Structure 1
């Protein structure tokens, strides 16, 4: 899903082809890998993001 658009991801979650928790976990992993170089995030709320994704699932 890393190359999918937000619309494609939302459709896949709604259709049950992918879980929201999986999408969020993947995004958090990419942030962890890239942010030490990019310094694009002041804060990343891992637990809150995963909690909200679980509520969607």
Structure 2
């Protein structure tokens, strides 16, 4: 939910500490999909740095 809400610092901390960048929510959406959907471009850039799909 951090990506969907635009919390870039939290997204970065989660990924730096081993969170799965390609995990999906209950609707099958990835963090990248949610960040794009809600226009959180800084989060999108962070996710791309961690090689998300």
- TM-score range with shorter-chain normalisation? 0.3 to 0.5
> TM-score with structure 1 length normalisation?
0.39
Q: Which has the larger Rg?
A: 1
Structure (1 or 2) with the greater helix fraction:
1
> TM-score with structure 2 length normalisation?
0.40
